[in-house]
């Protein structure tokens, strides 16, 4: 791996937590937050790739699942990125009942791209009954774009499958906030149209409402997609921290995202990217599931952005729940000026001066609404203690409508536990209980290809506790075969859940649960 600054760069999203008292009614719809964990009949993945460039081969992995049972079909449309040219392509993909379809290199397998052919663009997927009629059921889907380097290492980013409910509509503005020496890293912005005649303007601001450079306007039809690589170069910005990127939809409907890549100018970097979605307004609370510094066999830290989307000073109360220890371990208060993003290279260490991973709840003590997200990342050092790389994952903030509903079934897709000559791949599961009553989680592992159950286990999460179970597949089934798995989760009470798939190079992705209809 190449040398890289251990600081992480993140993009703000709206999110919220909950209190130990009865939950406040904070919903994604009310606070303009785009969820990672929704399921729809029709979904879009705004970025897929099959391309050689920058010394690496970029490709995608897509996972598809329908929980309704019975064989289905998925109608897939690939729209190439505008700068590559070409026409949209369509195909029908069989989706056998009760099985998880995991496809590496879908552009090659589904559309025939091969060899040195470059393909970058978007996917639109519609679930259908066998025979071609639209289905009333929902499609659970997700994607990862990853770079395969010449030394065999891989670094990737998670892309959720999004629906129209996640889109920015005409008249709406979403904000992406990059912090902590933003000019040292690459910040890319991606756009995808979900309707013909969509118009989107991208403008750098600092703080919100203060324009740093004239905006750039893009016209998109349904499926069209663009990417602005390194927005500091695109807008010719001087070095500065804490800029906000405004994405304004003038007409139509669009999806937007940012990719944050380590390494630019000062450091070569691993170019390990993180995908974050935009925010239209803040919320009173924000909860980050797993952040914090660790020094030991591996060294970890958690960067974060906290944005005040209000017009007055925000006074923010921060509470830290150490993993495995119920209750608040530490608390403090800090302020954020109106319209400003505050960046932390190590939010837990900087706020509390402590080591250790835990859940972090941020609550606005004023009428100002806030947003936040984090990136928990591993720091790799050589024998002389020099940083030689990082590998990180997004830790999106969460609203209480992401709490698991008691009795409902949720699915975690695309998990794997395997040991090979090239390294060890593993999957973990974490849960945080923001309430006071103990919650029980029923966890069952299914083989992806066959749909057969491989066993189950029960996890207990006490009030105010964060737990993490490493190598969850092997815990449930020590004799598992190393194939891709799907996990079903049911909870006895409200609790946040995330899974983490960590590849052989230690690069993780964060996987949200998707609710079964």
Q: Write out pLDDT tens, residues 319-366.
A: 999 999 999 999 999 999 999 999 888 899 999 999 999 999 999 999
| Tokens matching residue 454 | 């491989």
Domain match, 416 and 392 both:
no
In a domain, 507, yes or no: yes
pLDDT score of 187: 86
pLDDT score of 373: 84
CB 357 within 8 A of CB 320: no
Give the helix/strand (H/E) hosting 221.
none
* Residue 171 CA from chain centroid, whole number: 25
pLDDT score of 516: 87
Residues in contact with 283: Cβ distance below 8 Å, sequence separation at least 6, in sequence order: 14, 15, 16, 26, 31, 33, 369, 370, 371, 399
Give me the number of domains the chain comprises.
4
CATH code, 127: 2.60.290
In a domain, 22, yes or no: no
Domain match, 54 and 92 both:
yes
Domain match, 268 and 299 both:
no
Domain match, 72 and 156 both:
yes
Domain match, 146 and 61 both:
yes
Q: 50: buried, middle or exposed (CB in 10 Å: 19+, 13-18, 0-12)?
A: buried
Domain match, 364 and 257 both:
no
pLDDT score of 184: 66
Instruction: Give this prediction's pTM.
Output: 0.90
CB 156 within 8 A of CB 503: yes
Domain match, 486 and 408 both:
yes
pLDDT score of 12: 36
pLDDT score of 4: 28
CA atoms of 8 and 248, how far apart (whole Å): 26
In a domain, 11, yes or no: no
Full domain range(s) for residue 233: 164-276
In a domain, 361, yes or no: yes
CATH code, 360: 2.60.290.11
pLDDT score of 385: 75
Domain match, 380 and 481 both:
no
Domain match, 144 and 174 both:
no
What mean pLDDT value characterizes the chain? 87
Domain match, 154 and 206 both:
no
Last residue of a domain, one of 349, 376, 401: 401
Q: Where are the alpha helices (DSSP H) in 28-130?
A: 28-31, 106-111
Give the helix/strand (H/E) hosting 347.
helix 347-352
In a domain, 24, yes or no: no
pLDDT score of 7: 31
In a domain, 15, yes or no: no
Domain match, 253 and 268 both:
yes
pLDDT score of 304: 87
Last residue of a domain, one of 401, 436, 469: 401
In a domain, 2, yes or no: no
Mean pLDDT, each 10-residue run in order, the chain (517 residues)? 29 34 48 58 94 86 93 96 92 95 96 92 95 89 90 88 93 85 78 97 94 97 95 88 91 94 53 85 92 71 88 97 98 96 90 94 95 82 73 84 92 94 92 97 97 98 98 97 97 96 91 90
393: left (phi over 0), alpha (psi -120 to 50) or beta: beta
In a domain, 366, yes or no: yes
Domain match, 255 and 175 both:
yes
- Which has the closest alpha carbon to 388: 147, 186, 151, 181? 151
CA atoms of 359 and 461, how far apart (whole Å): 13
CA atoms of 32 and 378, how far apart (whole Å): 31
Q: Is the peptide bond before 321 cis (omega within 30 degrees of 0)?
A: no
């Amino acid at each position: 791996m190449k040398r890289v600054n251990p600081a992480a760069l993140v993009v703000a999203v709206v999110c919220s937590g909950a209190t130990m008292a009865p939950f406040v009614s904070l919903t994604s719809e009310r606070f303009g937050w785009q969820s990672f964990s929704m399921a729809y009949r029709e979904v879009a993945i705004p970025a897929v790739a099959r391309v050689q460039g920058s010394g690496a081969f970029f490709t995608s992995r897509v996972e598809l699942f329908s929980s309704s049972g019975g064989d289905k079909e998925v109608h897939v449309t690939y729209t190439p990125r505008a700068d590559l040219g070409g026409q949209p392509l369509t195909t029908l993909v069989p989706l056998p009942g009760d099985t998880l379809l995991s496809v590496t290199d879908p552009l090659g397998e589904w559309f025939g791209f091969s060899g040195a052919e470059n393909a970058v663009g978007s996917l639109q997927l519609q679930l259908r009954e066998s025979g071609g009629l639209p289905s009333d059921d929902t499609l659970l889907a997700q994607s990862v774009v990853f770079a395969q380097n010449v030394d065999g290492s891989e670094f990737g980013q998670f892309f959720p499958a999004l629906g129209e409910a996640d889109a920015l509509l005409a008249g709406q503005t979403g904000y992406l906030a990059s912090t902590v020496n933003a000019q040292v890293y690459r910040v890319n912005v991606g756009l995808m149209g979900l309707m013909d005649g969509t118009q989107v303007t991208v403008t750098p601001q600092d703080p919100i409402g203060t324009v740093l450079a004239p905006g750039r306007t893009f016209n998109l039809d349904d499926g069209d997609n663009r990417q602005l690589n390194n927005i500091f170069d695109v807008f010719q910005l001087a070095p500065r921290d804490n800029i906000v990127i405004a994405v304004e939809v003038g007409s139509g409907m669009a999806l937007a995202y940012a990719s944050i890549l380590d390494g630019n100018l000062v450091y070569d970097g691993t170019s390990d990217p993180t995908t974050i979605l935009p925010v239209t307004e803040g919320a009173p609370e924000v909860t980050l599931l797993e952040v914090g510094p660790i020094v030991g066999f591996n060294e970890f830290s958690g960067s974060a952005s906290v944005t005040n989307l209000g017009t007055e000073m925000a006074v923010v109360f921060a509470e830290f729940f150490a993993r495995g220890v119920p209750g608040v371990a530490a608390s403090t208060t800090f302020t954020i000026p109106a319209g400003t993003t505050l960046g932390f290279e190590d939010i837990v260490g900087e706020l509390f001066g402590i080591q250790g991973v835990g859940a972090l709840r941020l609550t606005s003590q004023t009428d100002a609404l806030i947003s936040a997200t984090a990136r928990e990342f591993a720091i790799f050092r050589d024998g002389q203690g020099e940083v030689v790389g990082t590998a990180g994952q997004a830790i999106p903030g969460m609203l209480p409508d992401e709490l698991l509903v008691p009795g409902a079934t949720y699915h975690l897709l695309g998990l794997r536990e395997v040991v090979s000559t090239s390294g060890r791949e593993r999957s973990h599961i974490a849960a945080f209980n923001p309430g006071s009553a103990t919650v029980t989680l029923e966890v069952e592992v299914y083989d992806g290809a066959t749909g057969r159950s491989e066993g189950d286990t029960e996890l207990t999460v006490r009030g105010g506790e964060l737990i993490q179970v490493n190598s969850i597949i092997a815990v449930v089934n020590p004799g598992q075969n190393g194939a891709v798995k799907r996990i079903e989760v049911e909870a006895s009470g409200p609790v946040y859940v995330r899974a983490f798939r960590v590849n052989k190079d230690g690069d993780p992705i964060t996987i949200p649960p998707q609710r079964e209809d």
